[in-house]
Chain A
Amino acid sequence: GENVEQHPSTLSVQEGDSAVIKCTYSDSASNYFPWYKQELGKGPQLIIDIRSNVGEKKDQRIAVTLNKTAKHFSLHITETQPEDSAVYFCAATANQAGTALIFGKGTTLSVSS
């Protein structure tokens, strides 16, 4: 089955700096890679996703890149703000019947002003 590794587990940056979180996956059949943001006491919220037929996707300050050959994908947050502080999870799935999202262990991002 799929296995998703996520690094780093914690990340501290200054406001305005960029933050990068990296994930690797094991199942070459995986074709959908979402990123979730979880604030304290809340459920995960989808912030951006990418499919295997695309190499990069941007949404304002957030971008995701995918390298299918190396089986890794990354989340990039530019111009970080204190409200970006949260736990971020990557996930992967083959999007076939009987499959579900497999999550990384999460990255706690702290943005200090």
Chain B
Amino acid sequence: NAGVTQTPKFRILKIGQSMTLQCTQDMNHNYMYWYRQDPGMGLKLIYYSVGAGITDKGEVPNGYNVSRSTTEDFPLRLELAAPSQTSVYFCASRRVSSGNGYTFGSGTRLTVV
């Protein structure tokens, strides 16, 4: 049981480049989330999805886009990378019927230079 898998683990981008952070879960969870973590700031919600085809903005969505074409996958897209997007990104999921426990991936450390 792999849980929540994020790729890549590390990435360096140049300003203006684009990339997609991948997130896959194999637990058949309905809800999926993207958070970013900056030092001393906790985790901030970027986007979330309550099911395939449904996404919504969180606290800090600017500069990001998401899609949810399947239950398993929830990729996060950065179109024009900026230094302010340097962060560690975590994907999480949960099954509605099992309560509220979130399962987190191991994160993607992104540096924009």
Contact with B along A49-79 (1 / 0, CB 8 A): 1000000000000000000000000000000
**22 pairs, CB–CB < 8 Å, chain A vs chain B:** A1-B59, A4-B42, A34-B100, A34-B102, A41-B107, A42-B106, A42-B107, A43-B4, A43-B106, A44-B90, A46-B101, A46-B102, A49-B101, A93-B100, A98-B56, A100-B33, A100-B48, A102-B45, A102-B59, A103-B42, A104-B42, A105-B41
Any B CB within 8 A of the CB of A11: no
* Contact-residue size bin, chain B (C-beta under 8 Å from the other chain): 20 to 34
* Bound CA–CA A1/B42 (angstroms): 16
Cβ–Cβ < 8 Å partners of A42 in chain B: 106-107
Q: How near does chain B come to A98, taking the closest CB pair, in angstroms?
A: 7
Given A44-B104, A49-B100, verify A103-B40 contact (CB < 8 Å): no
Query: How many A residues, CB 8 Å from partner?
Result: 26
**0 or 1 for each of A10-50: is its CB under 8 Å from B? (1 = yes):** 00000000000000000000001010100001111110010
A10 shortest CB reach to chain B, Å: 10
Contact status A105-B42, CB under 8 Å: yes
Residues of A within 8 A of B59 (CB): 1, 102
Q: Interface centre among A6, A32, A43, by most B CB within 10 Å? A: A43
